[in-house]
Structure 1
């Protein structure tokens, strides 16, 4: 799956860092690891990894350096003092952070002569290495192309997003927001049907069916938003129709003693956009509620 002559160092051995290093070892790559608590490397060392005594040793050992720690502040604590020792190395930062932190770290790496990719992991540690697992990367495309075969060891859904180092972080938080929004709505629905004696697993297949239907709505809305003309044609239902149905959800929740904060939040969004003259437009017009005024 990759060039086995590429040596890899992994800095940071939390559950995710351990999974990353294990994937490289499994594929036969010479793998060096480092962690502040060295005992976290015990299993990896048994499998053939080399434990570095300090970050500088780990960086010196490999062509490709993967950093996966808790925060960007820790990234700079770990490799910030290495300076020119990073020159010519490829640093792939898979630490979770903001888009601005990613861009600033890319500038810092460039000043020290390092090639830099910033990334985001869209899977939990057990999913590392799976064909369906998605990891996003951004930075110089030549750098990504050179290391893509090795990076694909971490997930078959390895995806290059372009030269903006901040884009993986934007995708990361947006997709997580989508996940939490869907999960909260599912759990709110479970709380409602439970009042009628319905088990969550009985409700589940219908929730799955409806999520598939929602995909069709989002495809239409994305096209409307990207058109940029803010016409938002109501191909499925007008916003005022959505609001009428949502009010039933609020009323039913109140009557059943189920928390109403989530549907009332949506109700307020719709009412605000309708007040701007979008009653006859599609639900896509609600995007205006989330945008900054000058966007």
Structure 2
């Protein structure tokens, strides 16, 4: 295929050139997208510019350069600070915001962008910069579905895209949920390493067994999810009473070893609440009902 017959690539602007922004710019450049970049510290554009990107002098100039504008900065307040002076340039463009924030901030920004006659797509990236553009990266998107579909060929260069709904805050809700699960895993990891360490077991030694066990335990989650969605918690396997007793033993051991139980004690309260409410024989997944009751 000659340059004359090749399909023109959509021009893309990347606002923010931290580690993620640099990786995004490189992914677009590698596939032939005319790429404009902007960053408060202009020297961070040296790498992308050396590889063919155009450095814009202002945010407004960067927005004007492309119909697809991708922004990845520290927080939503920073997004607003950058875009307000360039508001007049947004009309007719698609803004894809890959900045981590809260659902409320995503709703507000989506409404503000729509008022400027631009399309808004919110995204949550699940990748480290080194894996952008590989099979290990994926991105959850929400907001303007037509704009997302139009620009999906370019966006899929970041990682596999999954559109989760037209409300602009949905990707942020998913993001908060997924990261909650991740940090819960980390808290369990820290507890395990600290407990093992009280008897001189090195972190690497216990972690090799922990990863094996967590990988197997994770296979139970889809079945738990089905039980929760149905609201049916009958089980013939490890029930709430068994788990409540088991976790109480863990907490007792933790205290005996001189460690805090702060990370796991809240889970014990959920188990005990369900057992005390007459659900001792129910599936472990029913513990979510005590969590929901606190809303």
Does TM, scored on the shorter chain, surpass 0.5? yes
Aligned length: 290
- Counterpart residue number, 1:141: 145
Tell me whether 204-213 or 24-33 shows the greater mean CA deviation: 204-213
Report if the CA contact (8 A) 1:10-1:31 is conserved.
Answer: yes
CA distance in 1, matches of 2:165, 2:7: 23
How far did residue 179 of structure 1 move? Answer: 1.2
How far did residue 248 of structure 1 move? Answer: 1.0
Report if the CA contact (8 A) 1:4-1:27 is conserved.
Answer: no
CA RMSD of aligned residues (A): 1.9
- Counterpart residue number, 1:87: 91
CA distance in 2, matches of 1:277, 1:82: 59
Q: Secondary structure at the match of 2:85?
A: coil
- Counterpart residue number, 2:3: none
Q: Secondary structure at the match of 1:154?
A: coil
1:23 is the counterpart of 2:27: yes
1:78 to 70, 79, 82: 82
CA distance in 2, matches of 1:4, 1:20: 19
- Counterpart residue number, 1:67: 71
TM-score normalised by length of structure 2? 0.92
- Counterpart residue number, 1:170: 173
CA distance in 2, matches of 1:134, 1:224: 27
Q: What are structure 2's unaligned runs of at least 5 residues?
A: 1-5
Q: What are structure 1's unaligned runs of at least 5 residues?
A: none
Report if the CA contact (8 A) 2:93-2:118 is conserved.
Answer: yes
CA offsets, 1:130-151, max 9 Å, x none? 2211111112222111111111
Structure 1 residues 30 and 237: CA distance shift in structure 2, 3 A: same
- Counterpart residue number, 1:238: 239
CA distance in 2, matches of 1:3, 1:141: 23
Pairing 1:1-295 to 2, within 5 Å after superposition: 5-155=9-159, 157-228=160-231, 231-291=232-292
Structure 1 residues 29 and 99: CA distance shift in structure 2, 3 A: same
TM-score normalised by length of structure 1? 0.92
